[in-house]
Chain A
């Protein structure tokens, strides 16, 4: 809209404004080309080659890398694990954050305190917190299993058993994501005009559930959509906790997309193959964004 107006305006361009515009953009443009556009295009091209670091040359192998990905059991596990991880972290951290936001917003007392508490993981060094989790979840000396032992339950080896490792990582992921989502939901809630809640009261809404259905949920639509998208994108990017705690183990049970890409590229130096994984990762992220802007966006904006 504003774009169209700007373009439609008769182009009265003060002398030197064009020059000034380009000069002001120049540093950004140069670094954009050099550090973002070029490497990204290079990564895309690399995905179609057999380049390995230190190798004398490289050959164009077309879809060879992707063919290999399809046959690579390790990659299939990695992709599946990533989807499971996102499938747990996104819904739980979104629903949990929404419930928490409603609860915190319901009264004034303690609002700032609780917001700060749940937000704390956002600003804490993930590597350090992962180590704290490792201690907390340690099978023999960890407080969690010690507490379970008091109840007569033998706790599992959370991070070292292939049955529980992905769940444990997902739990840590939820713990990290919930504060960010909470802050977004709180911002969305305060943006709902108070008069709408009051109109609902006068119109005969009595229960909190009805008020949520009539006013809060529909008006929170754009926020919710955004939170859903960003949470999925952020959890597809899971890397730190895996790199610190499990290195993809045991037996690939916690191998995830970015970690596979990292090991292929920087441990085995198979850059072409790693780039192909990067491309898969990029396509997933772009797909999620497309879902947001093209499909769902129209359903939550009431213009």
Chain B
């Protein structure tokens, strides 16, 4: 706060305390990277040296790439996240606009459904969905991974709140200019929805890249495994106690989102905070 004569001591103490705590927080990352660079015998000696004695080795990484279809996992992750996000936006933006700005019979009733949907965790419909996909013979497919998430009531809710704040004049002006509802969505609403869409995109990608529950249910084997599932399979099937390779695999699978976060830190934090607070 703005106190005259700021005392330098609390300031230094604050920095020191936060730095120490931050370092403790980063421990899993630090040791993960450290172990991924150590040869196996050094890991098993349980030394407290962070830096590998032999100057480090990339052998763990090589082993991961030899034994694990890393690129398949990453590619699957990209396809699944992109597919989900695409449909979520495709369905939620028009619906959010209609619920916010159009008057039509049944609108309040539909919005009630949206609010109801917000209450249900995605674990609840999982069992019947699994039965359905299994019955259709769609297990182990992108369809099974993507479809259950293409409807996001949260996205509809978020966009509806966001569009409600846009002035009605904007839409009236577009109508007077002769646009129909679809081109209003496409040419007026969508460009204005960009901040909300970015925030939601970050939220959605983080959630689905990291999700384990649903992929674990509908996917077996490596072909359609997402990064989360890939690490789990590698851990339980092949690596066992090969911590070096295991850590290397973890580093590889964690890196894409963490790097994206480090590059666009503000956007991430704001995106998660705004979507978090509204949800």
A residues bordering B, Cβ < 8 Å? 2-3, 6-7, 11, 13-14, 16-25, 27-29, 31-32, 35-40, 42-43, 46, 53, 100, 103-104, 106-107, 109-110, 112-129, 131-133, 135-136, 138, 140-143, 145-147, 150, 175, 180, 183-184, 186-187, 197-198, 201, 211, 223, 226, 230, 233, 237, 239-240, 243-244, 258, 261-262, 265-266, 271, 274-275, 278, 281-282, 285-286, 289
Contact = CB atoms under 8 A, between A and B. Distances in A.
- Nearest 8 interchain pairs by C-beta: A39-B125, A21-B104, A128-B250, A20-B181, A28-B95, A42-B128, A24-B94, A18-B104
A27 B108 CA distance: 17
17 contacts: A20-B180, A24-B182, A28-B91, A31-B150, A117-B22, A122-B272, A126-B228, A127-B210, A128-B227, A129-B254, A131-B231, A132-B28, A135-B243, A135-B247, A180-B272, A240-B212, A240-B213
Given A110-B15, A187-B273, A243-B216, A25 B94 contact: yes
B110 interface: yes
Nearest to A143: B31
B136 interface: no
Contacts, number: 297
Interface in B140-159: 147-148, 150-151, 153, 156
Contact of A32 (B19, B119, B153): B153
B61 interface: no
B85 interface: no
A132 B261 CA distance: 19
B107 A21 contact: yes
Nearest to B27: A136
B210 A125 contact: yes
Contact of B25 (A16, A17, A24, A118): A118
Nearest to A197: B1
B14 A107 contact: yes
